[in-house]
Amino acid sequence: MIHYGAVTFDTQSIQAQGFRFESGFLQAFRQFKDSCIRVLISVPVKMEIVKHLEETNQKYHSEILKCILEAKKYCILKNKNFDLYPYLENPRDVASFRFEEFCFNTGMQVVSCDNVLMSEVLDLYISSKPPFGNKNKKNEFPDAISLLSLEKWAVNNKTRILAISEDKDWISFSDNSIWIDVVKSPKEALIKLQENPLHLEAISDKFIKELFEDMGEFYNNILNYIKIKFLNSKFEAEADSYYQWEWEFDEVEVYDWDTIYSNDGCGSHVIEQSEAGFSSVVGILVDLTVKGSFSFFRYDSKSGEVCLVGSSYNSTTIQLDTNLILNFRNNGKIGDLFFDSCQIDTDTFKIDFGYVYSHDEE
């Protein structure tokens, strides 16, 4: 399985999504902001996207104004002096703003083409190598510059790139590149990118931190689960004593729990993944009190038997270190995950009571 460290788009793949940066599959790429997976865009592709988006905005801008003029002409406006123009945004400004906002929300990095040599581009052009096809070769110069700049970025960063494109020339170029692979849709890309365990662990850490900091339903659900789990678990006692002893569990009280944080987050580790979601394990600390009875015995050399010499009722309050498995599931949309359920990965816990005394000990 190839673990890609970056993803990029060609112009058509963005256009095919209707420039819907705020919804659908394009919105799902927000999950990669501040993650181990980089979202990239080459300079030529960025310029083309903004240009096409501006043209689309201008088209609807003109149609709206035309409709208002026609409405006035046929007297179907109550206010004949109504002027919509002041309420319309500038098509160019809107195009730039929306794409820059998409870049910010995804943590997108613009890949410079300054390190692409013209001799490299001309060599591909003259020899008709991908992305230059046999027809309309001059139209492929932006693609050639984009792909060469992305490949150089991949080499410098030692990172495989997953490109989203249905363009045959992009696909042909990737066939000859060890750094760039191509898939045809954002959905395919999201599925492959989420196979990266480092990305899943980053998502897991983020979800756990956000859910726990809320101290709301998530925290209470986990606490209630732990209480029920511990009531049905087996507790084994560890203790020091002058006598031999046996212990019988009585009850457990659970007060609180917390994840074990470090400078790198809560250190969750993905243990299972599928298209439906993934499961991760995280260390937790549980505050609890365990109570039980100790019976003490000693060997009677005269009778040759082990005799009961006393008993005591003990309790100890500790912070128990254990592991919690959290299950995250897909909410019907790729990248839209939610907390589903949890379980503790063991049914047996050892509790240290320290030194315990019989009632007849001074």
The percent of residues in the chain predicted with pLDDT above 70, rounded, is 86
304 sits in the region (left: phi over 0; alpha: psi -120 to 50; else beta) called left
Concatenated DSSP letters of 195-234: T-HHHHHHHHHHHHHHHHHHTSHHHHHHHHHHHHHHHTSE
Token reading at 255: 């007060």
Report pLDDT digits (tens) over 300-354.
Answer: 888 888 888 888 999 999 999 888 888 888 776 555 677 788 888 778 889 999 9
Of the ranges 53-62, 102-111, 208-217, the best mean pLDDT one:
102-111
Q: Above 70 in pLDDT, residue 117? A: no
- The DSSP H or E segment spanning 237 is strand 234-240
Report pLDDT digits (tens) over 254-285.
Answer: 998 887 765 555 567 777 777 777 788 888 89
What is residue 12's predicted lDDT score, i.e. its pLDDT?
A: 92
Amino acid identity, residue 107?
G
What is residue 335's predicted lDDT score, i.e. its pLDDT?
A: 55
What is residue 78's predicted lDDT score, i.e. its pLDDT?
A: 73
Contact between 14 and 26 (Cβ < 8 Å): yes
Q: Above 90 in pLDDT, residue 294? A: yes
Concatenated DSSP letters of 291-355: EEEEEEEEEETTTTEEEEEEEEEEEEEEEEEEEEEEEEEE-SSTT-EEEEEEEES-SEEEEEEEE
Token reading at 1: 């399985």
Residue 157 — pLDDT band, cuts 50, 70, 90? very high
Which of the pair, 48 or 122, is modelled with greater confidence? Answer: 48
Token reading at 105: 């929300």
Contact between 297 and 242 (Cβ < 8 Å): no
> What are the φ and ψ backbone dihedral angles of 12, each rounded to 5 degrees?
-65, -35
**Which DSSP symbol is given to 33?**
T
pLDDT (average), residues 187-208: 78
What is residue 138's predicted lDDT score, i.e. its pLDDT?
A: 59
What is residue 134's predicted lDDT score, i.e. its pLDDT?
A: 59
- Per-position b or e across 46-77, b if 16+ CB within 10 A of its CB: bebbbebbbeebeeebeeeeeebeeeeeeeee
What is residue 69's predicted lDDT score, i.e. its pLDDT?
A: 81
Residue 237 — pLDDT band, cuts 50, 70, 90? very high
What is residue 72's predicted lDDT score, i.e. its pLDDT?
A: 77
Q: Which range is least confidently modeled, 27-31, 54-58, 205-209, 329-333?
A: 329-333
**pTM for the complete prediction?**
0.62
Tokens 């030529």 sit on residue: 44
Contact between 278 and 200 (Cβ < 8 Å): yes
Alpha carbon distance 162, 174 (integer Å): 10
Total residue length of the chain = 362
Strands 244-259 and 234-240: unpaired
What is residue 128's predicted lDDT score, i.e. its pLDDT?
A: 64
Q: Which range is least confidently modeled, 30-34, 196-200, 266-270?
A: 266-270
**Nearest in space to 188 (alpha carbons), one of 111, 275, 82:** 275
What is residue 149's predicted lDDT score, i.e. its pLDDT?
A: 92
